[in-house]
Chains A and B, each alone.
Chain A
């Protein structure tokens, strides 16, 4: 069993991204994925969330993230209150770059506070040192459970520091680059109850995250926790 906690549904603007998500998942034996709508991330969160809600009616292998635009918080709250009770959406997605809202901005802090109040796990794009800002948000907001998307990409040393500062901060490894030993470094330094598996499909092929994790050779219960158990517990999934 593998659950991908960082996937996308819908088209991307780069050349040659065509294979549907479920087919991409099948290449690597990924059973379930939690997805945000690419449209919601890149362009219009309300329209994207609405389209994803309709699509989720067609498959039981996918769950949804409500994409939250920190500068459009009233709309985000309406979407969260509409979609989370359906059980088909299990978390929120915040992309700091597309929304022009860094983690430390007042707008994103307000969005994270709202999600903490709702008890809604948040997948947040992190890059380099910004993962430390997410750790600070977790420290400041006792109800917040957050996933550091990309675990800081090249800033993995900051991701380790961040995860070790708060047990409500989770790391997932997806990145289009795969420096040797990146995930092994995390595995050696972070509690395995805070590690999740994410791919960024269909933007990135799961080969990147799968290979990074496999190269670190997690075994037994640790591999199971990374693959699905931590995700099932965090999102309350019945698997």
Chain B
């Protein structure tokens, strides 16, 4: 009996060379265990994801400095460390951004929802401005319809990690004005969202993101593999663009 849910047959030989949205650590609210570095590596390998831009939930939820140090220690061919700051402490956040930049980190991740920070809090634009000044890429959660505003006009390179296809039109209209604005593919799970982004602002604005291990990587892999994008665009979305953005050979 053949399995009707044979995802491998649909995905084919798609390999993700850099997942822009990977987490290690734990969410205290969840019943199940979160991601140890070992378990996260196993998840990625099981999905033919050869590298992840990894941020640490300890840094997001408890202590940025020690959490960032944990993720810095994981750096290697399969782990691109992403720094995390706490937007509830904009003074400390900028100091941490400067420390991370000096350590060679290429990207800073913002967790506004988890930290209870809204788009119009002064902290968001202040931290983003300093990170952009240092040439760091910003990876940000939050509703794109609101978080575009504090990140606009900074000549910043920004990846919106929570862009839902319900809000795709809003992303597109701001992306047309902001050449540095990109989006993760994680929630672009409508039948046409990837194709619309590619047609409207270019496939180089799309970066594969899974949020492993909290989200199911099979979903964005399936959507990308079954998309109408060209093979070259699929390869770019699957990591080529992200590697370029983060300066990885």
Contact = CB atoms under 8 A, between A and B. Distances in A.
A219 B3 contact: yes
A215 B218 contact: yes
Contacts of A1: 4
A228 interface: yes
A33 interface: no
Interface in B134-164: 164
A220 interface: yes
B119 to A, nearest CB: 21
Contacts of A19: 191-192
B190 A205 contact: yes
B216 A212 contact: yes
Contacts of B1: 220, 224
Interface in A1-31: 1-2, 14-19, 24, 27-29
A202 B10 CA distance: 19
Contacts of A17: 190-192
Contacts of A228: 4
Interface stretch (A54-62, A126-134, A176-184): A176-184
Contact of B222 (A201, A202, A211, A223): A211
Interface string A214-227: 11001110011011
Interface string B206-221: 0000001111101111
A2 B4 contact: yes
Contacts of A15: 168-169, 172, 196
A210 B189 contact: no
A51 interface: no
Contacts, number: 114
A127 to B, nearest CB: 15
B4 A207 contact: no
B192 A18 contact: yes
A16 B192 contact: yes
B5 A218 contact: yes
A179 B222 contact: no
B74 interface: no
Nearest to A228: B4
B168 A213 contact: no
A220 B219 CA distance: 22
Contacts of A215: 7, 216, 218
Contacts of B222: 207, 210-211, 214
Contacts of B168: 14-16
B191 A24 contact: yes
Contact of B7 (A201, A208, A210): A210
Contacts of A201: 191
A204 interface: yes
B223 A207 contact: yes
B64 to A, nearest CB: 25
A112 interface: no
B187 interface: yes
Contacts of B115: none
A180 B189 contact: no
B131 interface: no
A178 B169 contact: no
Contacts of B172: 15
A87 to B, nearest CB: 25
A181 B35 CA distance: 13
A37 interface: no
Contacts of A226: 5
Contact of B187 (A14, A177, A212, A224): A177
A186 interface: no
Interface string A133-153: 000000000000000000000
Nearest to A24: B191
A123 interface: no
Given A14-B168, A14-B169, A15-B168, A180 B212 contact: yes
25 contacts: A2-B4, A16-B168, A16-B193, A16-B195, A17-B190, A17-B192, A28-B10, A176-B166, A176-B187, A177-B187, A177-B215, A178-B216, A180-B212, A180-B213, A204-B191, A205-B191, A205-B193, A207-B219, A207-B226, A211-B223, A212-B218, A213-B5, A215-B218, A223-B4, A227-B5
The 9 closest A-B pairs by CB, nearest first: A15-B169, A16-B196, A211-B219, A227-B4, A211-B218, A207-B223, A207-B222, A214-B7, A214-B5
